[in-house]
Structure 1
Amino acid sequence: MTVSPWIAVALALPVLLCGEALVRRVRLLNRFNIPAPVVGGLLVALLVLIGNLSGVCELRFETGVAQRWWTWLVCTPSEWAQSPVKNVTQPLLVAFFACIGLNASWALVKRGTLQVAIFLGLALALAVLQNLIGVGLASMLGIPRLLGLMCGSVSMTGGHGTVMGFAQEFEAAGLDGAAVMGVAAATFGLVAGGLIGGPVGGGLIRSRGLRPTADVTADAASDVQEVSDGESGIISDLRRYARYGLSGLYHLLLVLVCVKLGTWVSVIIQGTGITFPVYIGAMFVGVALRNAADVIHPRAVCTERIDTLASILLGFFLSIAMMSLNLIELAGVAQAMMIILTVQVVLTAIFARTVTFKVMGGDYDAAVMVAGHCGFGLGAMPNAIANMQAVTRRYGHAPRAFLVVPITGTFLVDLFNATIITAFIHVLKGF
């Protein structure tokens, strides 16, 4: 039986709430910061898999929709007139990355000055290494090199959002089941990133006798920590956004403008023959709009409101995308993937401990950054914050780390990692 995509949309909130309940109650899920929509969505996907294998029922989620009232936002007028079939999650995905672009404020980057640029360079260097290792090992193991790339910076540095953003591109390039494999790799990375970050950073502090130092950016550190420790969850996000009132509506309209204008930018980019994910145009428009707004009126775009909206969009997107996965497609490549992912964990730990630590100054803050780099280099920004908080709760504050790592890991890496991944896809398609 085929399940309508609109049923998946209707189930998104209950599935997300179920995931949040499991994360609260299951210590391991909480400890490793596994995203609630991933937990809830994968639970549904597992139940569907069990039902299909046992013969109790045969279910498959349909994700394509042609309803013009839903697809108009991500189509140009000429394309829209033909009623194209689009993935039901595409407007949510593109809107989320428009939020990423709207948060890419140059004024914010300047607060970290040279440290942010250096740390970004390190993060991108690791992303390239992850791709080289993934593709190289895939060739040695006799599996598709595109799968090796999916087990590289797409799922490691990128995480679940990047995986789902690029899944269609990988499918089009010939990797069947790209979304399922990518989600499995990203989930593995989340767990590994939560496991190794604290021990690697804390080990450096103990072995070298490092101590925290005062820094003028202490206020920034406390701000980040307060946000990280605050109330979270889809219901609290929805309530918070509702309280924004007209300001919330204004920021939603900004995002919609970015998405719509981004469709034209994407068409122009695709016309060059270069393959980019569907969200790249909206993200570029978001970056341009944010920085133009900062020049005209510094408070025209509120980062807090965009963050809240992004959290809501990503939650619904991941819930729908996860429950729609066909997990049986993992059969036959699980062992090879495990080998590649294990090597990626070792690579990230060694890179962070040796290169990141030394380049970032070799001091206490650098050691805390190492813990954070392990977190988002293998999983996601919440992992990085959790790792750094675990270290600083024991050894003391690291204000510079809490300024540099969130700025880099929240949006800058996503902007550049997409370009790196696209370049690798084009190279691999040439072989």
Structure 2
Amino acid sequence: MTIDAFHGFTLAILLLFVGKGLVARWSILRRYSIPEALVGGLACAFVVFILHYGMGITLSFDLEARNALLLYFFAGIGLSTDARTLRHGGRPLLILSGVAVGFMMLQNLVGMEMARAFGLDPRTGLMVGSVSLTGGVGTTLAWSDHFVQTLGIAQAQELGLAANMIGLIAACTIGGPIASLLMHRHRLQASGDSALEIGTLHSDEQHAQLDYYGVLLALLWLNFALMLGYGINALVAYPPVTLPDFVG
């Protein structure tokens, strides 16, 4: 059974509301900051699992809408980001960046050694390293063709996407409890009454009042960002550099 792009997009919206409802109902999910999207996605994966192994029904999804929505997602992040805030990071930001780069290298080394241990091309391990775990879905898709067509590594995309999803689930289910534990141990609290800059408020949410002009203006700015991004991607496509479309 194949679910086309339109129905898949509609299902994704529904699953987000399912995740939002479950997070609102179960306090343990809020306590450990488990994202609503992850909860809804796991609910969908559980249903697909039951249908496949319990009833012999295999679901496949047309992911045509995914690529466009991925660009809108990152364009929205870019439009809501102020590069001047990087100046306030100071020394802690530099330390965090250094640690992140070190872990990216560690991901690739561990991935290559695991691939070698299983008798595979060591370069296969890069798809379960920083390409998927740090780069995410967009980077995995951008590099998949190079791995399959140039390096001759079959199933590179499936391997990278699987690693990416496992990484997302692990980050959400492990990171939240660890952060909660560290905050409790060191008695850390948010300073003042400032609202969250990143994340989702689970209670007393402030909803922006938008008319249709505001919605259309937001879409217009997003489309301008995407159009400019396409031009940037065309300029950097000439050197031997492979970048995801969402970077531009």
TM-score by length of 1: 0.47
Matches within 5 A, 1:32-431: 32-63=32-63, 87-142=64-119, 145=122, 148-154=125-131, 156=133, 158=134, 162-172=135-145, 173-174=147-148, 175-177=156-158, 178-199=160-181, 221-222=191-192, 226=196, 231-232=201-202, 239-240=207-208, 242-243=209-210, 246=213, 249-281=216-248
1:25 matched residue in structure 2: 25
Partner AA of 1:40 in structure 2 = G
1:14 matched residue in structure 2: 14
Partner AA of 1:192 in structure 2 = I
Provide, for residues 204-263 of structure 1, a one-character-per-residue CA deviation record: whole Å limited to 9, x for no partner.
x5xxxxx99xxxxx9x94365555797459xx68x52x4377555434322211111111
Q: Is the 8 A contact 1:95 1:255 kept in 2?
A: yes
Q: 1:229, 1:169 → 2: CA distance?
A: 27
By how many angstroms is 1:200 displaced?
Answer: 5.7
Partner AA of 2:84 in structure 1 = A
Q: Is the 8 A contact 2:140 2:157 kept in 1?
A: no
By how many angstroms is 1:196 displaced?
Answer: 3.1
By how many angstroms is 1:103 displaced?
Answer: 3.9
Q: 1:225, 1:143 → 2: CA distance?
A: 48
By how many angstroms is 1:60 displaced?
Answer: 1.6
Q: 1:3, 1:150 → 2: CA distance?
A: 27
2:151 matched residue in structure 1: none
Provide, for residues 28-48 of structure 1, a one-character-per-residue CA deviation record: whole Å limited to 9, x for no partner.
543443322222123223312
Q: 1:188, 1:143 → 2: CA distance?
A: 25
| Helix, strand or coil at the partner of 2:192 | helix
Q: 1:190, 1:231 → 2: CA distance?
A: 16
Q: 1:192, 1:56 → 2: CA distance?
A: 32
Using a 3 Å threshold, how does the CA distance of structure 1 residues 123 and 224 change in structure 2: closer, same or farther?
farther
| Helix, strand or coil at the partner of 1:33 | coil
| Helix, strand or coil at the partner of 2:232 | helix
Using a 3 Å threshold, how does the CA distance of structure 1 residues 280 and 114 change in structure 2: closer, same or farther?
same
Partner AA of 1:190 in structure 2 = C
Per residue, is there more helix in 1 or in 2?
Answer: 1
Q: How many percent identity over aligned positions?
A: 26
Q: 2:161, 2:41 → 1: CA distance?
A: 13
Using a 3 Å threshold, how does the CA distance of structure 1 residues 225 and 106 change in structure 2: closer, same or farther?
same
Q: 2:129, 2:32 → 1: CA distance?
A: 20
> Where does the alignment leave 5 or more consecutive residues of structure 1 unmatched?
64-86, 206-210, 213-217, 282-431
Q: 2:100, 2:211 → 1: CA distance?
A: 35
CA RMSD of aligned residues (A): 3.5
TM-score by length of 2: 0.76
Using a 3 Å threshold, how does the CA distance of structure 1 residues 7 and 202 change in structure 2: closer, same or farther?
closer
